[in-house]
Amino acid sequence: MTASRTLIQNTISTSIAGLLALGLATTATSAFAADAEKEKCYGVAAAGKNDCSTAKHACAGQSKTDKDPVEWKYVAKGSCEKMGGKTTATK
C-alpha cells in the first residue's frame, strides 16, 4: 500500500469515529435532559410495562402483575402520587 492510500484510509476512519462519538454524546445529553423532567413512580406500572429491572427480574417489560409496589416506570415529575403511586420503593 502506498503512503497516500494509508493516509486517506486513516483520515476516513478517524472521521467516522468522530461522527459516531458525536452522535453518542448527543444521545446521552438528550437522555439526561429527559430524565430531569421525569421521576420513578412505584406501584403504577401495568403488567409488562415496567421501565427497568427489580429483584424479581432483570429487564424492563417483565413485570407479571399490574401495580406491583416494587415495579416502577418513569412518569412526568410531580404526577406520581396523583396516579396512586409512590416515589420511593416499598420495603
Q: Is 3 a residue whose pLDDT tops 60?
A: yes
CB-based contact 69:82 (threshold 8 Å):
no
Average pLDDT over every residue of 28-42: 71
Q: Which of 5-19, 40-54, 67-81 has the highest mean pLDDT?
A: 67-81
What percent of the chain is predicted at pLDDT more than 90? Answer: 26
At 6 the pLDDT is 86
Distances 30 to 17, 23, 35, 36 between C-alpha atoms, Å: 20, 11, 9, 10
- The total of other beta-carbon atoms located within 10 Å of residue 62's CB is 15
Band of residue 7 on the pLDDT scale cut at 50, 70, 90? confident
Q: What is the pLDDT of residue 39?
A: 92
Rounded to whole angstroms, the Cα distance separating 64 from 88 reads: 20
Give the three cell numbers for residue 19: 461522527
